[in-house]
Amino acid sequence: MTLAVRYTAPRTLDLAPTGTVAPGPGEVELAPAYVGICGTDLHIYHGDMDQRVHRPAVLGHEVSGRVVRTGPEAEGWKPGDAVTVMPLRWDGRCPACRAGHHHICRRLDFIGIDSPGAMQQRWIVPASTLVRLPASLALDRAALVEPTAVAVHDVRRAAVGAGETVVVVGGGPVGVLIALVARAAGADVRIVEVSPHRRRIADGLGLTSWDAADDVPERVRRWTAHAGADVAFEVSGAAGGVATAVDVLGVRGRLCMVAIHPRPREIDLHRFFWRELTLVGARLYDRSDFERAVGLVADGTVPADRLISQVVTLRQAPAAFEALESGGDVMKILVRCEDDVQGAAL
């Protein structure tokens, strides 16, 4: 018997036995080792995505693990291989796919949202979603490859270049990762964050953080000699964060919208007109982003171990969701899926 964490109703998770099946053609069976809990998982937990999620739903898409079995036609993989998963399946036929933008397919299957995810002891996925991990990379750190790939894609979409000034509004896990990736691209970066705990983490990574309660536009003016920032990333998901991200930009600045805003926000379009600003959206990633992320985590450019606040077992996962929801002093919580709960009484 294997076990899985399932979303069954708003703010309700259970731990349930799951059957095992052999991987089919082009599929592999994985033993997930670590699964990160992300903001999207919390949206599901709150019931905000019930129109999309089929209950009971196994959550999780930030994963590291090892291949257990391979199905027919799953060539190039063998038991024991260390992998992460790019959790996307696309139809290959829609206009986005035909234009080469598979990650924004009109009928995208985001594995872990639209289909069963990784928070279980055995998981069947298409071999095409696997991304190989170097043997030197610890599996707990490798669980942060997926959010790092998000950051790589965001920085690429915003075309951040060496010597540019960048403001990241929101210092949660993705915001800090964007700051680290932008710094690796040669940018001078500031993070704006309301949480003192998260600011301390950012500062401990050699980044510079500002309190969101400060006069951030004025601080940017002093920092940039009144030029304004070249790039801003909105990662907070708050109306105030949108306003700040617009206000800090200089002439022809670029605003990259990263956070999911479930409702329309007011935005100062006159400033876009007056300063010839550019707004770009950034959603998910492609394989090149994932491969770049593996390298950044493996070489320590992204010090993943310092972003992990806590590691819990499958049985402890419901309490971990509650801790994240409370907004306590946590950055990234990982769920360990290995055999410590195998066969435990339910």
What are the residue numbers of the active site?
Answer: 40, 43
Burial tier of 188 (Cβ tally within 10 Å: 0-12, 13-18, 19+): middle
C-alpha 66/C-alpha 34 separation (Å) is: 10
- Identify whether the C-beta of residue 59 lies closer than 8 Å to the C-beta of residue 112: yes
DSSP code of residue 101: -
C-alpha 38/C-alpha 321 separation (Å) is: 10
- Shortest CA distance to 231 belongs to which of 259, 203, 252? 252
C-alpha 324/C-alpha 318 separation (Å) is: 10
For the four alpha carbons of 58, 61, 66 and 69, in that order, the dihedral sign comes to positive
C-alpha 225/C-alpha 132 separation (Å) is: 45
Cα separations in angstroms, 295 against 57, 239, 300, 324, 339: 31, 34, 8, 28, 28
Contacts of 218 (CB under 8 A, 6+ apart): none
Q: Which residue has the tokens 């929101």?
A: 170
C-alpha 286/C-alpha 289 separation (Å) is: 5
SS3 (DSSP) at 159: coil
C-alpha 247/C-alpha 170 separation (Å) is: 15
